[in-house]
Chains A and B, each alone.
Chain A
Amino acid sequence: MAEDKNSIDIDYVANLARIDLSQEEKDRFQKQLGDVLVYFEKLSAVDVEGVEPMAHPFPVYNVLEEDVVEEGFTAEEALMNAKHQRNNQVIVPKVVE
């Protein structure tokens, strides 16, 4: 990617995130997020040798439920906010493979 490590490849990332950005937004984000990344550099100097990554504030294991069915939505409830629907299904424009 870009040689400058504090520069985000905005086009690549916006494509991953599925957001169209105007050129203006791209330029602004490029600059602002560049500043943020400079600020993030504080972290690179920290020695984390042997430190476990913290994924949860409190480590608990095996939060499991028994396989017992509970009542869910009717099709109407499931799709009550879907503006584009037909035959109780959500319509999407052609999915290009």
Chain B
Amino acid sequence: MEYEAVIGLEVHVQLKTQSKMFTRARCAYGEAPNTLTNPVVMALPGALPVMNKEAIRKTVQVGLMLGCEIAQSCKWDRKNYFYPDSPKNYQISQYDQPICDGGFVEIEMPGPSRNVMGEHRKVKLTRIHLEEDVGKLTHYDGESLVDYNRAGRPLIEIVSEPDLFSADEAFAYLTSLRTHLLYLGVSDCDMEKGQLRCDANISVRPKGQKELGVKVEIKNLNSISGVRNGITYEIKRQIALCQKGEGASIVQETRSWDADKGITFSMRSKEMAHDYRYFPDPDLMPVRVSEEIKKTLADALPERPFAKQERFMKEYNLPYTITSVLCPDKALSDYFESAVKAHNNPKAIANFIANDLLRELSNAGCDMAHPLEGCKIQPEALAELAKLVDEGMISKQIAQDVLVIMFETGDAPEKIVEEKGLKQSSDTGELESICSEVIANNPKPVQEFKDGKDTAINALKGQVMKATKGKANPKMVDDILRKLLS
């Protein structure tokens, strides 16, 4: 029998705010332990929560971006459970009135090849709610240490419907969701820093069956590859049990992904009595999001990433492959458009960015989540470089070298071309003598060309370019060679 997997993802995303969700203690990453707390974060007797306006705004922005219904009124609930990383031993969350209801994440499924756009599909969301993060436990032999710096940071939980059917789709979902959130700038979504965390609910069923199988929750999928590998493993495990006729031994449980061993294992359910005793937090008042605020936030939404990609392909006539490099990064695609505005050669500029600039950024060890941060080349300067090529001042090959120098020094391209004497040679006399020399020294391609093999001229051109260190204008070289050989 053939089986299919059904997957739903619960994604927790840390919102990028200055202060915490329910108190104004600072939010930061990588600070010395327990230096970002106050009475509220430490849950001292008498401490009380007060909401962070910005966290609410950011959550509404996410909801609007993902097509959710924004609740007119929502409230805060306490989720009661004991854990050493949870200072109050309850988490302030939203139980039956999330800020955002429904919605979807548009995903692109893998295409037949890297150069062909895959099919797009909307993955349904159940809800998005806002809550607070917990502290961080570090485990040692026989004991654990707790740092409460992270405790109380605003966290949104984005819950998808069981609307994903393979590890690849789950991966595409997560990638797209991340791109959307990065476009909004509400989070840096760095999984390594725990800014984006993913749990998966996975079940399998015979293909064609409507009812869902027994659901297993997988935790600790702590990296993008972990999500893919962990889900792949779990689906295989469940299908193997079904095929052995042991489908009944799939129990509803929580399992943890062990990335080192490449397996999921059962987390003993004894400690996880799921009776959270949710009740409305009496310390907090409900939230109402006015139509006015909704409209203001909606008007300020950025263009959605897939819409932008489609526009880039149409408006700039760019191939899919290059747009799929530019568009997932809002800053990069904006950079591209600024450059194009300064010099209208989209293709050349896109190539400079996707090939040369990104290579240099990566070699320089830039944070590829924000590759342009600290990039010394302004989009206008890149446009200028493309313009120099288009005006025949330098060759494409030279331009690539100029870009490397621009990247290092931040100097204007003209200045580099001038100082390094890289200007294309347009001296006809000098070029004619070099060409004559090349023709004399390369009888073989000369003969071939004369026998009618037109492409043989390229070998001669290459020799001329070599002799001029690339400074010759390729068009002129072509003209002169043809004239001399005719």
Point out residues on A near B: beta carbons under 8 Å.
15-16, 18, 55-56, 59-70, 72-75, 78-79, 86-97
Contacts and interface: CB of A to CB of B under 8 A. Distances in A.
Interface stretch (B16-24, B333-341, B375-383, B405-413): B16-24
15 contacts: A55-B75, A56-B285, A61-B288, A63-B285, A64-B50, A65-B24, A67-B54, A69-B24, A70-B24, A72-B26, A73-B39, A74-B35, A75-B35, A78-B37, A92-B146
A95 B25 contact: no
B52 A86 contact: no
B137 A95 contact: yes
B311 to A, nearest CB: 33
Contacts of A18: 82
B82 A96 contact: no
A95 B144 contact: yes
Given A55-B75, A67-B52, A75 B24 contact: no
Interface string B30-52: 00111111110110000000111
A72 B37 contact: yes
B171 to A, nearest CB: 26
Contacts of B288: 61-62
A65 B41 contact: no
Interface of B: 17-19, 24-26, 32-39, 41-42, 50-56, 73, 75, 80, 82-84, 137-139, 142-148, 256, 267-268, 271, 273, 275, 277, 280, 282, 284-288
Contact of A68 (B18, B38, B42, B84): B18
A39 B356 CA distance: 79
B145 A87 contact: yes
A90 B267 contact: no
Given A73-B38, A97-B271, A67 B287 contact: no
A6 to B, nearest CB: 20
Given A67-B53, A72-B37, A75-B35, A61 B286 contact: yes
Nearest to B22: A65
Nearest to A96: B271
Contacts of B51: 63-65
Contacts of A62: 285, 287-288
A16 B73 contact: no
Given A18-B82, A67-B55, A88 B282 contact: no
A64 B271 contact: no
Contact of B142 (A66, A75, A78, A93): A93
B340 to A, nearest CB: 35
A60 B73 CA distance: 12
Listed residue (A67, A74, A89) with the most chain B CB atoms within 10 angstroms of its CB: A67
Contact of B287 (A61, A65, A66): A61
A69 B285 contact: no
Contacts of A15: 273
B413 to A, nearest CB: 42
Given A69-B19, A73-B35, A73-B37, 15 more contacts: A56-B282, A59-B286, A61-B73, A61-B287, A63-B51, A66-B53, A67-B18, A69-B25, A72-B38, A78-B148, A87-B145, A91-B146, A93-B142, A95-B137, A96-B271
B256 A97 contact: yes
A5 B26 CA distance: 48
A91 B18 CA distance: 28
Given A62-B288, A65-B24, A97-B268, A89 B36 contact: no
